[in-house]
Amino acid sequence: MTPRQSPALLDDASAVARIFEHIDNGTTDLGDTMWREPVDHYHSQARFDAEMALLRRLPVPFCPSAALSEPGSYVARTAAGTPVLAVRDNAGQARAFINACRHRGMQVASGEGCTKTFSCPYHAWTYGLDGQLRGIPGEEGFPDVDKATHGLVPLSTCEAGGIVYVQQRGDIDPGQLGGALEYFSPEQRYFQNSEVVVDANWKLITETLLEGYHIKSLHTDTFYPFGFDNTNLVETFGANCRIIYPFKRMAALREVPAEKRKLNGMVTSVYHLFPNASVAVLSKHTSLTLMEPLSPTRTRLVSYYVVNPDTADAPITLEAAQRDVAFVNDSGQEEDRDAARAIQETLTTGANTHLTFGYFEKAIVNFHQHLAAHLD
């Protein structure tokens, strides 16, 4: 399953040809700029506050559209420090609200599920899927409350490329998402989510996703036996990027006519969606992961998983997709998280004034360039 290509990204045949060129020559895609990021940007409260404000004023992925598969389906979680409730209304539109009752501020939903209305667990004020206040027990005790103006507070929401985006401050500019790739297709089934809290800054975790320079040294017994060390395609499109990590099994494509070569099952493609989201396309499943900052030194990783469409050779079962997720989460990604934790512990020691990113880390440089520009 390959997302619809934008003019900035290679098609499958061209990508495979470039990967083979790198394999044959022992090369990889390179940037042309180095970047030095001050270490205080990973633990400063002032910097953290500025980044949180940025996350609230940009359209940020919240969940896959497939997680809101039918009217009444909802996802409630905290995003950029704000309790947010996303729901599919009766007309099929995705909506998002601040998850706070207009009576005393209690959250009206938690987790995910499907419902016809939201009832506050504190005093049972009830809201429709459109956020409107429908019922107040003992309504005579609130003569000055106008139900028409006391609905859940809406947040700007839109869907693009199979993802529900939410912007907490101001309205989403449709032009910002007009060229979005189709990261998820309508036939994909959502099957689970996961959360893990890591004692590391959200940018350190993001950086682990964006380069293959560490594959052999950090993932010796997990990812490296199936892939290559520092052999990647790195393509940037605006503040976003795609990094392709090829598998050794793609050698079979050398016998396939160039115009018929497909990346399906031969690579892992990681898309970084600026600023704090990634989409990873693997053999059996695709994930959307949000790096949700909790503090300058703590991050909650929230991931949503969908089954990839069936291949021409065989259907992809739910069990196969679940095994795919377990391998990634319990092996290589735990190693990445451990690396981010270990780095965080050194940042206030004075050993380094900055972290250095070189030509092998083109996608990380692109990330920091755009983050700096937005904050400036």
Query: Stretch 42-58: mean pLDDT, rounded?
Result: 98
CA atoms within 13 A of residue 232's CA, in its CB half-sphere: 28
- Digit-coded pLDDT (tens) for 248-285: 999 999 999 999 999 989 999 999 999 999 999 999 99
- The answer to whether residue 1 scores a pLDDT higher than 50 is no
Would you tell me how many other CB atoms lie within 10 Å of the CB of residue 243? 25
**Cβ atoms of 55 and 293 closer than 8 Å:** yes
pLDDT more than 70, % of the chain: 98
pLDDT of residue 7: 56
Q: Which of 184, 239, 195 is nearest to 365 (CA)?
A: 239
Provide the mean pLDDT of the chain.
95
Query: Does residue 87 have a pLDDT over 90?
Result: yes
Region 232-243: mean pLDDT is 96
Please say if the pLDDT value at position 22 is more than 70: yes
- Identify the pLDDT of residue 6: 58
Query: Which residue, among 182, 195, 169, 203, has the nearest Cα to 64 in the 3D structure?
Result: 182
Q: What is the pLDDT of residue 332?
A: 84
Looking at per-residue confidence, does 376 or 151 come out higher?
151
The pLDDT > 90 percentage for the chain reads 90
Residue 229 burial by Cβ neighbours in a 10 Å radius (0-12, 13-18, 19+): middle
Per-residue pLDDT band at 174 (split at 50, 70, 90): confident
Q: Spell out the domains of the chain, with CATH numbers in brackets.
A: 12-55+187-375 (3.90.380.10), 60-172 (2.102.10.10)
The closest alpha carbon to 194, from 278, 96, 288, 275, belongs to 288
* pLDDT computed for residue 176 by the predictor: 80
pLDDT in tens, 321-339: 999 999 888 878 999 999 9
Instruction: Write out pLDDT tens, residues 278-311.
Output: 999 999 999 999 999 999 999 999 999 999 988 7
Report the predicted TM-score, pTM, of the whole model to 2 decimal places: 0.95
Q: What is the DSSP letter of 188?
A: P
Q: What average pLDDT score do residues 203-208 get?
A: 98
Asked if residue 368 has pLDDT above 90, the reply is yes
Question: Are 35 and 360 contacting, i.e. CB atoms less than 8 angstroms apart?
Answer: no
Distances (CA, A) of 139 to 123, 229, 233: 11, 66, 61
- Read off the pLDDT of each residue in 111-128 and give the average, rounded to a whole number: 98
Distance between CA atoms of 222 and 329, rounded to whole angstroms?
11
CA distances 225 to 198, 218, 349, Å, are: 26, 12, 35
Bridge pairing between strands 163-167 and 60-64:
antiparallel
Strand stretches in 266-347, DSSP E: 267-273, 277-281, 285-295, 298-307
The reported pLDDT for the residue numbered 177 is 82
**Long-range residue pairs from 264-267, CB within 8 A, at least 24 positions apart, any chain:** 264/1, 264/2, 264/311, 265/311, 266/16, 267/19
